[in-house]
Amino acid sequence: MPHPSVPRIGRTFAGLTAVAACSAGLLAAPAPASATPDPARAPGAPRLAGAYPNLAPRPPMGWNNWSYYMCDLDEKVVLDNARALVRTGLARKGYRTVTVDDCWMSRQRDDRGRLVADRTKFPHGMAHLGEQLHRMGLKFGIYADVGTLTCEKYPGSLGHFQQDAEQFARWKVDYVKADGCNVPVTPGHGKEAAYRDLYGQLSRALRATGRPMTFSVSAPAYFQFDGDSVWHRVMGWSAEVGNLWRTGRDVALEKSTPAAKWASIVYNFRYNSRLAGLQRPGRWNDPDFLLAGAAGLTRHETQSQMSLWAMMAAPLISSTDVGALSPAARKVLGNEQVIAVDQDPLGVQGRVVAQDDDSAVLSKPLKNGDRAVALFNSGGSPRTLSVSAGAAGLAKSGSYELHNLVTGRRTHSEGNIVAREVPPHSTVLYRVTPH
Point out the residues that are catalytic.
179, 250
The strand pairing partners of 316, in sequence order, are: 61
Do 62 and 96 contact (CB within 8 A), yes or no? yes
Q: How many angstroms separate the CA atoms of 179 and 70, rounded?
A: 15
Do 239 and 284 contact (CB within 8 A), yes or no? no
Tell me the Ramachandran region of residue 188: left when phi exceeds 0, alpha when psi lies from -120 to 50, beta otherwise. left
Q: What would the 3-class secondary structure string for the chain be? A: CCCCCCCEEEEEECCEEEEECCCCCCCCCCCCCCCCCCHHHCCCCCCCCCCCCCCCCCCCEEEECHHHHCCCCCHHHHHHHHHHHHHCCCCCCCCCEEEECCCCECCCCCCCCCCCECCCCCCCHHHHHHHHHHHCCCEEEEEEECCCECCCCCECCCCCHHHHHHHHHHCCCCEEEEECCCEEECCCCCHHHHHHHHHHHHHHHHHHCCCCCEEEECHHHHHCCCCHHHHHHHHHHHHHHCCEEECCCCCCCCCCCHHHHHHHHHHHHHHHHCCHHHCECCEEEECCCECCCCCCCCHHHHHHHHHHHHHCCCCEEECCCHHHCCHHHHHHHHCHHHHHHHCCCCCCCCEEEEEECCEEEEEEECCCCCEEEEEEECCCCCEEEEECCCCCCCCCCCCEEEEECCCCCEEEECCCEEEEEECCCEEEEEEEEEC
Q: How many angstroms separate the CA atoms of 138 and 98, rounded?
A: 7
Do 304 and 312 contact (CB within 8 A), yes or no? no
How far out from the chain centre does Cα 53 lie? Answer: 19
Do 302 and 316 contact (CB within 8 A), yes or no? no
Do 98 and 81 contact (CB within 8 A), yes or no? yes
Give the amino acid at 283. R
